[in-house]
Amino acid sequence: MHRPGSSAAFTLVEVAVAGALLVVLVAALAVSMTQINRWATAAGLHTLALALTQQRIDEVLTTGWNLRTGPPPILTPGLVTETGLSLNSDAFNTQSGLGSSFTSLSSAVSATRRTQITFLSARTVRAAVTVSFVFRGRTYTTNLTTLRASDDI
């Protein structure tokens, strides 16, 4: 039998605490999902940065190097820094017939590529390529290193 004055229902304080907990939980989930999406985008950019790094390594490995004529410009000793490289978009794809209805969705992120060429001997060099980019205030970096010998002995 119901007794008058007993706590058969939630009090206002209980409801308020439960509501506050729910709000905190929902807010935490929303923040988490937003962060997960940022990480997903960053992971995609990281793959593209690796491709940009790989392109320079390929260039180092395949540009002709004849010992008699000297190393090609790409193998000049020292550090070369390129800034403002498009990471996740191709500006030319906005031209007619080269893009799609999705081309414009990308927010351009640019990268900086550093190529350090070091001569280990007269016919052997080491190339260290680093590509870095900033996304949402955080800096991401990829590195690849390779050795290259001249084409002829």
SS (H, E, C) 87-140: CCCCHHHHCCCCCCCCHHHCCCCEEEEEEEEEEEECCEEEEEEEEEEEECCEEE
Applying CB under 8 A, does 148 fall inside the site for another protein? no
Task: Kindly identify the residues of this chain, within the stretch 77-106, that bind another protein according to CB under 8 A.
Answer: 85-86, 88-90, 92-93, 97-103, 105-106
Give 49-92 as a DSSP string. HHHHHHHHHHHHHHS--BTTTB--GGG-SEEEEEEEEESS--GG
Applying CB under 8 A, does 52 fall inside the site for another protein? yes
Q: Which helix (H) or strand (E) holds 146?
A: strand 138-149
133 contacts 119 by C-beta, under 8 angstroms: no
**CA dihedral sign, ordered 124, 128, 43, 101:** negative
Nearer to another protein, 23 or 79 (CB): 23
User: Of these, 15, 17, 20, 147, which contacts another protein (CB under 8 A)?
Assistant: 15
Q: How far is the CB of 105 from another protein (least distance, A)?
A: 4
User: Of these, 17, 24, 40, 147, which contacts another protein (CB under 8 A)?
Assistant: 40
Applying CB under 8 A, does 20 fall inside the site for another protein? no
- Site residues for another protein per CB under 8 A: 2, 4, 15, 19, 22-23, 26, 29-30, 33-34, 36-37, 40-41, 43-44, 47-48, 51-52, 54-56, 58-59, 61-62, 64, 85-86, 88-90, 92-93, 97-103, 105-107
